[in-house]
Amino acid sequence: MNDDGADDAKFCTAAINCSEANRCNADQCYCGTATADACEMLPAGKCVAAWQDAAYTTSPAILRLHARTPGYTLANAIAVVDCRAKNCAKECGITP
């Protein structure tokens, strides 16, 4: 079941805008400099709240599922963020 809330567009846009404002790719936005293991327990990225809003959860396990399942609000936002990081990192100021 994909997200179908009235706030999907707002949360998607907020996640994308947070990434743009902080010039981070998807992993950096959520995990920050935390290792994958540490991020599992305590994500430290600058866009954690925006990612959680877009995933409609604070659970890292559910958030990861929503991040990689097409059609979910967070997955849609990450698709844009990843596209920017892949295709215009220099122009967008994103550090790999």
Q: Is the pLDDT of residue 83 over 60?
A: yes
Domain boundaries defined on the chain: 8-92
pLDDT band for position 1 (cuts 50, 70, 90): very low
Separation between Cα atoms, residue 33 and residue 62, nearest integer Å: 21
Separation between Cα atoms, residue 50 and residue 63, nearest integer Å: 11
Output the CA–CA distances (angstroms, integers) from residue 36 to 27, 49, 71, 84, 94, in the order listed.
Answer: 9, 18, 24, 22, 20
pLDDT tens digit sequence for 13-70: 999 999 999 999 899 999 999 998 899 889 999 999 999 999 999 998 899 999 999 9
Q: Is the pLDDT of residue 89 over 80?
A: no
Contact 77, 15 (CB under 8 A): yes
This prediction has a pTM of 0.86
pLDDT of residue 67: 93
Q: What is the 3-state secondary structure (H, E, C) of 14-42?
A: HHHHHHHHHCCCHHHHHHCCCCHHHHHHC
Q: Is the pLDDT of residue 73 over 90?
A: yes
